Structure 1
Amino acid sequence: MSDTEMQTKSFPSPYELKAPAGSEGWESLYPYNLVFREELREQEEGRFWFCDSQHWPNVFKPFEVTMVEFASRNLGAYNTRHYLVPPANGIDYRIHNGYNYFSPVPVPPEQIAARVPHFLERAGYYFQNWESLLENWHTKVTDNIKAIEAIDFTPLPEMVPMETITEGVGYDPSVDLFEAYDKLLALAYRNWEHHMEFLNLGYVAYLDLFQFCKEAFPGIPDLAIAKMVAGVDSVLFRPDDELKKLSTLAVELGLQDAFTRGDGNAEATLTALREAPRGQEWIQAWEAAQDPWFNYTSGNGFYGDDKYWRDDLDIPMGYIRYYVVRVAAGETLGRPKDELIAERDRIAEEYASVLDDEARATFEGKLGLARTVYPYVEDHNFYIEHWTMGVFWRKVRQLSNMLHEQGFWPQPNDILYLSRDEVRPVLFDYASAWAVGTEPIGPTYWPKEIERRRAIIAALEQERPQPAFNTPPAQISEPFTVMLWGITTEQVQQWLGSDDAEEGVLSGMAASGGVVEGPARVITNASQLGELQQGEILVAPVTAPSWGPVFGKIAATVTDIGGMMSHAAIVCREYGVPAVTGTGKASTTITTGMRLRVDGNQGKVTILD
């Protein structure tokens, strides 16, 4: 398809796409600056927007918008104001029919050169002092997590403690309540600032290596470059590694019967272990692994109802049960790290050998930097999306349940149907009535309003999001869009229904090598992971890093969105699972049971039925 032909096709305008029946008025649930406004129609229709279902695959409840705001604002700030990344500013964001849409903001070509010296100075300082700055980063982030853990939301007392009088405190617990809520948001925001401090530098270092390789080695596959930095020792894999260690220990202690009988329920298994010889030894190891490694979600941390291992011990215990069976059968559970390292070194040397001394030194310098900073591309995910957000949502639920018990809303987690800015007046309503000696107004207002909002959210959830809006550019070359989301010119053509598309073949990113055939299992929610059977091909809108424990079952992975540096791609490479990411519509085109051929070398998924 020529550029001219591509321009004749377009995605619908967000202004023309109707809301699902029953969701009318959904715009009022979200901040005014995050919906497509009629007075900005000409401007907004002139830009290309794509749905970021990689990070936000579900409809937002109002409170959950907080995370897309924190993440997107801070991503933009580091590109635009901290490091002045030469070709890329931030990524603008809007919500439409409850889903998140992104539009990258490029730097005007005439301004790029002026940003280069600033970027080299600022990013260069981080690259030169990476280890010490990263050590400081860990301290900052974990200190903030501890501060969030210390926050406590309890009901206001019948009367203030006598110490308030005798010590002349001069204020009541409402002050602590207000400050605790403000502090909760401030600490989460601060850790999202830290999230972006190193992240794009990891991508920039890899992109620098990538661009050098493309110029120095014409025709080099993208996957070959990605393999050069494989074999990472990321903390993101540590929770799964802990489960494998616990499973191996269970077999070594002769405790496998406690895991294989029953349905894998954590409490029943622990009860059986308490009665077994050496069972207490295993329980001690289990308890030791939980802090911090069970601060891990089967989702992605962006939604208030994501389930965390720490809060639902049946999740990790279910994985352990599966691992115990494999260990008892004599299988080895470890990731193929040694093989990945040997392969990456072989590939790097093979390409380096054709360079002259000067070019080889440049190549090895860029490769060394990329390998140094690359682990952070995944490490941050555990510290922020999993650990920070796990603690954050736990405190949000505590506050919500406290207000539920005071009669403000019908269900314990209904605070999610309020925006973060609507919660503050609720707290004042509660504290004011407590002070005056009357009943708060909220219990007469919020239950009905929350039910209205609940119905709107439920209606929005009935439809999958439109993949993109408006006319795409003739060529998509913005590097982060391509590497992280897998949004390429070819991918957009496929979304638009290119006349060149092969029937029964989906194209995407060759994200992790290998060719396999097998039956498909379409998973749209983490709660369905238990349905996966040995040897099936996982097909999903997107995978979460915490799905690692199921990778021992599956033959391959196929996702709708994601580039070479997406979490799905990185995790699949580290587990040695073939993967094609960024297909656009695999999860809606393929149905469970279809037989597929997944070619992770070429980025092709063929429906064989």
Structure 2
Amino acid sequence: MTDTDIETGSRIEPPGPGTWELDPVHFPRPVTRYYATTSHAFRRGTAEVMAYYGMPIEAMLSEVVGGFVYHQMVPVDPAEMPARIQRAEEVFADKLWRDQLREWDEVAKPASIQRHRDLQAVDPDALSDAELCDYLTRCQDHHAEMRYQHMRFTGAAVVSVGDLLAHAVEWAHVSPADVLATTRGAAPVSAGASAEQERLVAALAGDSAARDLLESDDDPAMVLDKLRTLGNEVSEAVSAYLDLVGCRLLDGFDISGRYALEMPDALVRTIRAWAAGRAETGPDPEHKLAEMRAQVPEEHRAEFDDLVAEARLMSRIRDERGVYSDIWASGIMRRAALGAGRRLASTGRLLEPEHIVDATVEEMVQIISGQGGPSAEELAGRAAYRAAHTAKDAPPVLGPPPTPPPPPDGLPPAAARMVRAFGTAMSMLFGSFEPAADDEEREALRGLSASGGVYVGPARLVHGPADFDRIQEGDVLVTESTTEAFNILLPLLGAIVTDSGGLLSHSAIVAREYGIPGVVGTREATSRFTDGMRLRVDGDAGEVTTVS
């Protein structure tokens, strides 16, 4: 790690006063300058969620320094604390997270889907230069709004599960992994499920000719085109499925990632896996729940049951708010940018079409309009910089060392409970495995037990979207971290191992929901294992070993 900005050679300086902490879980690689222009949406969303839930935090700031994403918590003005304390009491008394879930289901989610579909119905290649500039701006505005929306629903996604974790670990003396196992099955979207996916599987099951086409050795893009033009239920189901997932990013939140239709080979192999079906695996959550409940003191069991019910109710919004918000919007923005990139590369203004993603929208418009903007060589240099580095190259902290947050003991009961719920959830999201003194002598690489079971298979090291085409069914995904977008490719995986992230990271959630072994937060899996190496992933013990 270094305190030097690798892109410019200058020292990385904090973007403002106070402590700034690196986020390698959501951003394991440098982000584009375009993505940095949406940071205001992040602050706006976090400010709203903190006020809604009565947290003693004004907002969370997000700044990009040298391509790396850093966050900072801003405490609320002391004059606001009485109102925040009152609000926390109201939240728990009336279970106000349910109001947000209702808003999500009835207003935000359907409106977002409609807006996504309206924008992705536009063909960037059919637009004039002026129309394309306008379209790029509209896509950027939509993406920023969706990033705000993602953050605005964060409390709905984490308060209930954080509250359950804090109480259940205390009452039943069980591990957080055991607690989270009881919520498995409550978030179908995290396993890639949707009505469109179910319709596609059913249609393929009743059409042997379509299945033969799907299994053919034809070019994957041609296979998808042929399936969409059969003129029957399969073609309608394929079109509906691709309309839902086609413009969604497969990993990450930035337009440097790839959306699904850019990777027809991965899509075809995933649809094949869906069509083949799979046996239900993973621990039975009801059995886990019964065991845990028996360990809870009788005077707390009714409250425990209520906490479990609320956590299960809210689980699906954890990933839905990303899948149906900024992950889809970012893919649409990338699609628009690539349309501009192809146009500019054809005239020699860019060396490669994809280099356009390293321009801001303002710069894209300047280039398209012939009004300046960065040179082709500068954009190529920005792309090369991102490709050559990861968050491991960045200092984990800028500014003074972080100090632990003040204990919530001095707060009134509801406010203290809220702080503990948020704090527990955040530690389970960002916290990686803390190795013991003797771990260096172990043959096994240790991490957090995200999802139970044991699996042996070949390692597939994935450092970015360019590696997705190499994923084969039955592979062990070894990567820095994943986002909820990765759920499209889940049917191909036998297990998941990550460098970063805790038990509430997206990698852990998707492994748990899909019922495959998962070990997360190992810190060094991508540097310790090589591609193709056979690995034994023990999700129960949180260990990964090589198999000769």
TM-score, normalised to structure 2's length?
A: 0.81
Give the C-alpha shift of residue 540 in structure 1: 1.2
When residues 589 and 37 of structure 1 are mapped into structure 2, their CA distance, relative to the original with a 3 A threshold, is same
1:506–1:103: structure 2 CA closer, same or farther, 3 Å change rule? farther
**Which one of 328, 346, 370 corresponds to residue 387 of structure 1?**
328
Deviations 1:41-66 (Å, cap 9, x if unpaired)?
xx56xx3623x333223332322323
Distance 1:59 1:361, change over 3 A: same
The residue aligned with 1:348 is 289
Match of 2:8 in 1: 24
Q: Do the aligned residues in 1 keep the contact of 2:430 with 2:500 (CA within 8 Å)?
A: yes
Distance 1:586 1:514 in 2: 19
- 2:384 is aligned with what amino acid? A
2:42 to 54, 67, 72: 72
Cα distance change, pair 348–320 in 1 and its aligned pair in 2 (3 A): closer
* Equivalent residue in structure 2 for 1:265, among 220, 225, 231: 220
DSSP-derived class of the 1:555 partner: strand
Query: Equivalents in 2 of 1:80, 1:233: separation in Å?
Result: 24
Question: Cα gap change, 1:37/1:347 in structure 2, threshold over 3 Å: closer, same or farther?
Answer: closer
| Aligned residue identity for 1:49 | E
Deviations 1:347-386 (A, max 9, x none): 2233333545542221112111111111100111220133
Question: Aligned in 2, Cα 1:92/1:369: closer, same or farther, shift over 3 Å?
Answer: same
8 Å contact from structure 2 (residues 449, 520) kept in 1 = yes
1:132 aligned partner: 102
Change (3 A) 1:362 1:529: same
Give the whole-Å Cα distance in 2 for the aligned partners of 1:131 and 1:399.
38
- Partner secondary structure for residue 381 of structure 1: helix
Cα 1:264/1:179, change in 2 over 3 Å: closer
State how 1:527-542 maps to structure 2 within 5 Å: 527-533=466-472, 535-542=474-481
Distance 1:375-1:459 versus aligned 2 partners, 3 A rule: closer
2:430 paired residue number: 485
Counterpart CA distance in 1 for 2:175 and 2:280 is 24
| Structure 2 CA distance for aligned equivalents of residues 140 and 285 of structure 1 | 22
Aligned to 1:563: 502
1:62-211 matches, cutoff 5 A: 62-67=33-38, 69-70=39-40, 72-86=42-56, 90-104=59-73, 115-121=84-90, 124=94, 126-134=96-104, 135-146=106-117, 148-149=119-120, 182-211=137-166
Verify the 8 A CA contact 2:190 2:510 in the aligned structure 1: no
8 Å Cα contact 1:64/1:304 also seen in 2: no
Q: Distance in 1 between matches of 2:452 and 2:33?
A: 40
The equivalent residue for 2:188 is 234
Q: Which stretch has the larger CA shift, 263-272 or 576-585?
A: 263-272
8 Å Cα contact 1:335/1:574 also seen in 2: no
* SS of the residue 1:391 aligns to: helix
Give the equivalent residue in structure 2 for 1:214.
169
Query: Quick one: distance in 2 between partners of 1:37 and 1:565?
Result: 28
CA shift in 2, pair 1:279/1:333, >3 Å: farther
Gaps of at least 5 residues in structure 1 are 1-11, 28-34, 158-172, 431-439
Partner-residue secondary structure (3-state), 1:49: strand
Structure 1 position 221, deviation (Å): 1.3
- How far has the Cα of 1:295 moved from its partner? 3.5
CA spacing shift, 1:397–1:549, aligned 2, 3 Å: closer
1:284 aligns with 2:268: no
Q: Structure 1 pair 458/526, CA: closer, same or farther in 2 (3 Å)?
A: closer
Secondary structure, in 3 states, of the residue corresponding to 1:461? helix
SS of the residue aligned with 1:202?
Answer: helix
| Offset, 1:71 | 5.7
User: Match of 1:436?
Assistant: none
SS at match of 2:388: coil
> C-alpha separation between the residues in 1 aligned to 2:339 and 2:98?
43
Name the counterpart of 1:463: 389
1:407 positional shift? 7.2
The corresponding residue for 1:58 is: 29
Q: Retained in 2: the 8 A contact 1:206–1:370?
A: yes
Corresponding position: 1:36 with 2:13: yes
Maintained 8 Å contact 1:90/1:105: yes
TM-score normalised by length of structure 1: 0.73
Indicate if the aligned counterparts of 2:46 and 2:152 stay in contact, CA closer than 8 A.
Answer: no
Q: 1:600 to 1:37 in 2, by over 3 A?
A: closer
* 1:36 alignment partner AA: E
1:100 alignment partner, SS class: strand
- Kept in 2: contact 1:596–1:607 (CA 8 A): yes
Show the counterpart of 2:271: 320
Match of 2:311 in 1: 370
Go from structure 1 to structure 2 and tell me whether the alpha carbon gap of 1:527 and 1:245 turns closer, same or farther (over 3 Å shift): farther
- 1:248 is displaced (CA, Å) by 5.6
Q: Is the 8 A contact 1:557 1:577 kept in 2?
A: yes
**What residue number does 1:600 align with?**
539
**1:587 aligned residue:** 526
Higher CA-based Rg: 1
Paired AA for residue 179 in structure 2: I
- Identity over aligned pairs, percent: 23
Report the Cα offset of residue 586 of structure 1.
0.7
Alpha-carbon distance change, 349 to 297 in structure 1, aligned in 2, over 3 angstroms: same
One-letter identity of the residue aligned with 1:316: L
Residues 573 and 424 of structure 1, relative CA distance in 2, 3 Å threshold: same
Deviation at 1:587, TM superposition (A): 0.6
C-alpha distance in structure 2 between counterparts of 1:247 and 1:132, whole Å: 29
Shift of 1:216: 0.9
1:569 partner letter: A
Question: CA contact under 8 A between 1:400 and 1:415: conserved in structure 2?
Answer: yes
Q: 1:323 to 1:367 in 2, by over 3 A?
A: closer
TM-superposed CA distance for 1:226, in Å, is 0.3
CA RMSD after TM alignment: 4.0
Look up the SS of the partner of 2:287 in the other structure. helix
Deviation at 1:420, TM superposition (A): 3.4
Partners of 1:346 and 1:73 lie apart in 2 by: 41
Q: CA deviation at 1:207?
A: 0.5
> What secondary structure does 1:452 align onto?
helix
**2:36/2:64 contact within 8 Å kept:** no
1-side partners of 2:76 and 2:443: how far apart?
39
Matches within 5 A, 1:328-339: 332-333=277-278, 336=281
Match of 2:258 among 291, 294, 306: 306
CA shift for structure 1 position 524: 1.8
**Structure 2: how far apart are the matches of 1:499 and 1:349?**
35
Is 1:223 the counterpart of 2:177 in the alignment? Answer: yes
Deviations 1:561-604 (A, max 9, x none): 12111111111111111111011111112112434332212322
Q: Per-residue deviation at 1:140? A: 3.6
Change (3 A) 1:140 1:83: farther
